[in-house]
Amino acid sequence: MRHIAIIGSGPAGYYTAEAAQKHFAKDDHEDVRVDIFDMLPVPYGLIRFGVAPDHQSIKGVSRRYEKVALTDNVRFVGNVCIGKDITIPELQELYDAVVLATGAPNDKQMGIAGEDKANVFGSAAFVGWYNGHPEFAELAPDLSGKNAVVIGMGNVALDVARILSKTEEEFAGADIVAHALDALREANPETITIVGRRGPHQIMMTPKELGELGALERASPRVDSDDLPEEAEDALLEPGMRKSVNHLRNFAAITEDEHAQKPIAVHFDMFASPTEIIGDGKASALRVERTKVETGRAVGTGEFYDIPADLVVACIGYRSSPIPGVPFDERMGRFANDEGRILTGIYCVGWARRGPSGTIGTNRPDGYSVVDLIAEDVSNGTLGRANKQGRDGFDALANERGLDVVTFQDWKKIEEAETAAARKGAPREKFVNVESMIGAVS
Site membership for ligand NAP, residue 209 (CB under 6 A): yes
Site membership for ligand NAP, residue 56 (CB under 6 A): no
Site membership for ligand NAP, residue 213 (CB under 6 A): no
Alpha-carbon distance of 265 to 224, in angstroms, equals 13
Alpha-carbon distance of 333 to 316, in angstroms, equals 13
Nearest distance, CB of residue 416 and ligand NAP, angstroms: 28
Alpha-carbon distance of 51 to 74, in angstroms, equals 24
- From residue 250 to residue 289, what is the string marking binding to ligand NAP with x (rule CB under 6 A)? ------------------------x---------------
**Strands 147-151, 219-223: parallel, antiparallel or unpaired by DSSP?**
unpaired
Q: Which stretch binds ligand NAP (CB under 6 A): 26-34, 176-184, 200-208, 371-379?
A: 200-208
From the list 379, 381, 436, the residue with the least C-alpha distance to 413 is: 436
Site membership for ligand NAP, residue 110 (CB under 6 A): yes
Nearest residue (CB) to ligand NAP, 159 versus 269:
159
From the list 264, 118, 131, 258, the residue with the least C-alpha distance to 188 is: 264
Site membership for ligand NAP, residue 350 (CB under 6 A): no
Site membership for ligand NAP, residue 86 (CB under 6 A): no
Give residues 309-328 in contact with ligand NAP (rule: CB under 6 A): 315-317
Taking CB atoms, the residue at the shortest distance from ligand NAP is: 154
Among 155, 165, 193, 320, binds ligand NAP (CB under 6 A): 155
72: DSSP letter: T
Nearest distance, CB of residue 298 and ligand NAP, angstroms: 6
Alpha-carbon distance of 104 to 370, in angstroms, equals 18
Nearest distance, CB of residue 278 and ligand NAP, angstroms: 16
Alpha-carbon distance of 41 to 26, in angstroms, equals 32
Question: Which residue type, as a one-letter code, is found at position 391?
Answer: R
From the list 216, 203, 195, 217, the residue with the least C-alpha distance to 246 is: 203
Helix (H) or strand (E) run with residue 207 in it: helix 207-213
Q: Which spans of this chain sit near ligand NAP (rule: CB under 6 A)?
A: 55, 110, 151-157, 159, 196-198, 202, 204, 206, 209, 274, 298, 315-317, 356-359
